[in-house]
Chains A and B, each alone.
Chain A
Amino acid sequence: MDKPILNVENLYLHFRATKGIVQAVDDVSFDLQRNEAIVFLGESGCGKTTLAKAILRLLPRNVHKYTGKVYMDDTNLMELDDERFRREVRWVKMSMVPQAAMNSLNPVIRVGDQVAEPTEAHFGLKKEALAQAREVFQRVGVPVDFMSRYAFELSGGMRQRVAIAMALVTSPDVVILDEPTSALDVLTQANIMNVLKRIKKETETSFILITHDISTSSELADRVAGMYAGQIIELNDAEHFFSTPLHPYSQKLMASVPTLHQTKKLEFIPGQPPSLINLLPGCRFAPRCPSKFEKCAQDPPLIDMGERRKVKCWLYANGKEK
């Protein structure tokens, strides 16, 4: 196994709110290899987007606790000051396609200029910037003559491609995609996933994909991280996660996905995820868990199952299922 391109260790991001401390990202650790895609799956409010923002240090003002280690090329990014982080990491080594990116394009700047802007800002290359933008437009499948159009002249799928082009134009090592297809139509979704697959094949880029759409995520995933209430509860390779998940929550979640091509009996998870304020001790899924037992009153560790598979559940306390 090569050295990972990104290594996150014990990352915490807590917010202050009027009712108390929101534990949005709570002790998250994972690593990412070069040219690998990891998918973060979870329900809304489980901290997926906050995790992405914590990695890229895009923080709101009410931060209560922001600790941990994020390694890239042996540097701990958490030790860099804000200016160095902006200059050397954000959009140079790591970029992000935010949620609903297609609606965040500037309406009064031509899309070509917008895509050229990161290169200009980070490398000071004025002439090359447009040439690079042209190249990346081709790569994401937007006709090059669209560069002189404005965002409102493009369809939703085209705008989403432009947003992806903006994240790719500086050739970063890691691209974070936050719900890249959630507001799009089925056929457009398939198109965007094709674009991402092709880019992954042709370049060395690694992807962090954040989504709640389990079926679509399987189009890109090499590995899957299941998130629940601010924590990673399972890290697994895609093959095992989609067929035989380990954690009871992942099992239930997979059973709730409607499938088109096979018939199966659908299940749902009764109850609701806990509030991230005033969390009770112990396993956070225990109140909804069908296989709950006495030990669940204590917080389970992330148990190593070998082959980079990990699960945060007492059922696997001996390294295999009870």
Chain B
Amino acid sequence: MPANTPSPNNGTLLSIQNLHTWFELRKWGFGRAGYVRAVDGVNFDLGYGEAIAFVGESGCGKSTLAKTMLGIHRPTKGDVIFQGKKLNAFSSQEMQWYHSQVGYVQQDPYGALPPFMNVHRILSEPLLINKVADKDEREQRIRDVMTEVKMTPPDDFLQKFPHMLSGGQQQRVVIARSMIMRPKLIVADEPVSMLDASVRVEILMLLRALQQSHNLAVSYITHDLSTVRYFSERIFVMYAARIVETAPVDDLLREHLHPYTQALMLAIPDPDAKNALTLKEVPPGEPPSLINPPPGCRFHPRCPHVIKGLCDTQEPPAFEPRPKHFVECWLYK
């Protein structure tokens, strides 16, 4: 993607520049056996109060990207720049400040909440770590955030332990915990994939409402394209550690340019009895290994429109065939 995709809102909150996150593979404990290139050259800007979504299959590097944004993984190459400051150069104190500025909503709410703490303790923890010394203020903020995630009255829930709550309520507690330091950015990694259909929409709507009322930037990571339209403004499609297509949500859903996005869109059904009558067209094969990705375009071994001699040798740069619609594919040069 071009280094400076313009962010629509007022200024850039987070900028990802040429980001690579590689994991070293070891041989016999110390010898080097290569790298897993989980994120391999990603660029984008995220504006204040903007909701963006990353879509991709499992193993495409979307969770690694999220964790690099959160400062959990260190980038191998490239930079994460938050409000003009490079994450790599942060001292541990600055890193602690950064963690209070970005919230993390995990995929599995039950796994993300410590089973031996009650809700009150879970929500106090970030406040204590960030030295909110005044006890009354802590109590007030806990109550406020519980009301915001619609767990009312808070006193009914504060003394409960995670196992006493339903899946939807647990996810609300996770969201409350990520919100309590009043962050500017929330990274939500598959926040609803473990929940039931009827609860899923409720949690997504809650996140959307919080995003809009607090002018929060949200980076929503999912494998489920169908929920994206209801949540975000821009969408990034990832395949094999790279962003292959970016566009405002409505543009992308109306016109999907990359052959991989086209295959994804075709594969996802809407509930309709007519689906049973036809077979789906699915590209053959599976996503490539990230240790040794194919040369050229990473989708070319599965692509129906492959151009011999070009797609299999040269990596496609990002083209902009429509305004604000970027695609890494030689078909649009």
Contacts and interface: CB of A to CB of B under 8 A. Distances in A.
B271 A257 contact: yes
Interface string A226-252: 000000000001110111000000001
B89 interface: no
A35 interface: no
B166 interface: yes
A58 interface: no
B201 A193 contact: no
Given A43-B196, A261-B270, A268-B201, A215 B226 contact: yes
Interface string B264-284: 111111111101100110110
A132 interface: no
Contacts of B225: 186, 260
A186 B223 contact: yes
A258 B271 contact: no
Given A155-B286, A259-B226, A269-B198, A254 B271 contact: yes
B158 interface: no
Interface string B15-34: 00000000000000000000
Given A197-B279, A215-B268, A258-B229, A267 B201 contact: yes
B198 A253 contact: yes
Given A190-B280, A191-B282, A238-B276, A185 B198 contact: no
B229 A242 contact: no
B225, B264, B286, most chain A CB atoms within 10 A: B286
B200 A187 contact: no
Contacts of A254: 271
Given A190-B282, A197-B279, A260 B200 contact: no
Interface string B92-106: 000000000000000
Contacts of A197: 276, 279
Contacts of A219: 269, 275-276, 280
Contacts of A185: 57-58, 223
Contacts of A191: 280, 282
Interface in B242-297: 253, 263-273, 275-276, 279-280, 282-283, 286
Contacts of B205: 266, 268
A302 to B, nearest CB: 22
Contacts of A238: 273, 276
A218 B57 contact: no
Interface in B185-210: 196-202, 205
A214 interface: yes
Interface residues of B, number: 39
Indicate the member of A186, A254, A259 with the most B CB atoms within 10 Å: A186
Given A194-B282, A266-B230, A259 B270 contact: yes
Contacts of B226: 215, 258-260
A149 interface: no
A256 B271 contact: no
Contacts of A241: 273
Interface string A21-55: 00000000000000001000001100000000000
Contact of B270 (A239, A262, A266): A262
Contacts of A259: 226, 270-271
B227 interface: yes
A194 B280 CA distance: 7
Nearest to A192: B282
A193 B268 CA distance: 11
Contacts of A7: none
A227 B276 CA distance: 21
A187 B272 contact: no
B269 A218 contact: yes
Contacts of A262: 270
A187 B230 contact: no
B219 to A, nearest CB: 19
B201 A212 contact: no
Identify the interface centre among A37, A216, A218, A222: most chain B CB within 10 Å of its CB. A218
A188 B269 CA distance: 13
B142 to A, nearest CB: 23
Contacts of A188: 286
Contacts of B202: 268, 270
A253 B197 contact: yes
A268 B199 contact: yes
Contacts of A212: 196-197
Interface of A: 37, 43-44, 155, 157, 185-191, 193-194, 197-198, 212-222, 237-239, 241-243, 252-254, 256-263, 266-270, 272
Top 10 A-B pairs ranked by shortest CB distance?
A: A190-B267, A238-B273, A268-B202, A239-B273, A185-B57, A260-B226, A269-B198, A43-B196, A268-B201, A258-B226
28 contacts: A43-B196, A155-B286, A187-B263, A194-B282, A197-B276, A214-B271, A215-B268, A216-B269, A217-B271, A218-B269, A218-B270, A218-B272, A221-B273, A221-B276, A239-B273, A243-B272, A253-B198, A256-B198, A256-B201, A257-B271, A258-B229, A267-B201, A268-B198, A268-B199, A268-B200, A268-B201, A270-B202, A272-B166
